[in-house]
Structure 1
Amino acid sequence: MRTVLDKLRFPEGPVVLDDGSVLCVEVGGGVITGIDAKGMRRTCAETGGGPNGAALGPDGALYVCNNGGLNWVPRGRWLLPHGTAPSYVSGSIQRVDLKTGACTTLYDSCNGVRLKGPNDLVFDHHGGFWFTDHGKVRERDTDRGSVYYARADGSLIREVVFPLITPNGIGLAPDGKTLYVAETDTARLWAWAIDAPGEIAPMPWPASPNGGRLLHAASEYMRFDSLAVEAGGNVCIATIIKAGITVVSPQGQRMEHVPIDGETYVTNICFGGPDRRTAYVTLSGNGELVALDWPRPGLALAH
Structure 2
Amino acid sequence: MRTIAEGLDFPEGPVVLADGSLLVVEIAAGRLTRVFGDGRCESVAKTSAGPNGAAIGPDGACYVCGGGGFEWHRHPDGTQTPGLQPADYAGGCIERVDLRTGRAGVLYTHSDKAPLKGPNDIVFGADGGFWFSDLGKRRQRDMDHGAICWARPDGSECREVIFPMNTPNGVGLSPDGRRLYVAETAPGRLWAFDVVEPGRIARAPDSQAPHGGRLVAGLPGYQLFDSLAVEEDGRICVATLFNGGITVISPDGGSIEHVPLPDRFTTNLCFGGPGMRTAYVTLSSTGRLAALDWPRPGLRPHFYAHDGL
TM-score normalised over the length of structure 1: 0.97
Q: What residue number does 1:70 align with?
A: 70
Q: What residue number does 2:24 align with?
A: 24
Alignment of 1:139-154 (within 5 A): 139-154=140-155
Rate the CA distance shift 1:23–1:249 in 2: closer, same or farther, 3 A. Answer: same
Is 1:260 equivalent to 2:299 in the alignment? no
Q: Tell whether the 8 Å contact from 1:9 to 1:28 is kept in structure 2 after alignment.
A: yes
The separation in 1 between residues aligned to 2:220 and 2:73, in whole angstroms, is: 29
One-letter amino acid of the structure 2 residue matched with residue 254 of structure 1: S
One-letter amino acid of the structure 2 residue matched with residue 150 of structure 1: A
Is 1:131 equivalent to 2:132 in the alignment? yes
Q: Tell whether the 8 Å contact from 2:171 to 2:180 is kept in structure 1 after alignment.
A: yes
RMSD: 1.2
Q: CA deviation at 1:205?
A: 8.1
Q: CA deviation at 1:206?
A: 6.3
Secondary structure of the equivalent of 1:84?
coil
Q: CA deviation at 1:33?
A: 1.1
Q: Which runs of 4+ in 1 moved over 4 A?
A: none
Q: CA deviation at 1:204?
A: 5.4
The separation in 1 between residues aligned to 2:299 and 2:212, in whole angstroms, is: 26
Q: What residue number does 2:6 align with?
A: 6
Q: What residue number does 2:94 align with?
A: 93
TM-score normalised over the length of structure 2: 0.95
The separation in 1 between residues aligned to 2:226 and 2:255, in whole angstroms, is: 16
Q: Tell whether the 8 Å contact from 2:207 to 2:214 is kept in structure 1 after alignment.
A: no
Secondary structure of the equivalent of 1:275?
helix
Q: What residue number does 1:184 align with?
A: 185
User: Which protein has the bigger strand share?
Assistant: 1
Alignment of 1:1-303 (within 5 A): 1-37=1-37, 39-76=39-76, 77-111=78-112, 113-203=114-204, 207-261=208-262, 263-303=263-303
The separation in 2 between residues aligned to 1:46 and 1:39, in whole angstroms, is: 20
The count of aligned residue pairs is 302
The separation in 2 between residues aligned to 1:138 and 1:243, in whole angstroms, is: 25
Q: Tell whether the 8 Å contact from 2:183 to 2:189 is kept in structure 1 after alignment.
A: yes
The separation in 2 between residues aligned to 1:256 and 1:73, in whole angstroms, is: 30
Gaps in structure 2 of 5+ consecutive residues? 304-309
Secondary structure of the equivalent of 2:275?
helix
Q: CA deviation at 1:69?
A: 1.3
Identity %: 53
The separation in 2 between residues aligned to 1:39 and 1:142, in whole angstroms, is: 38
Q: Tell whether the 8 Å contact from 2:188 to 2:223 is kept in structure 1 after alignment.
A: yes
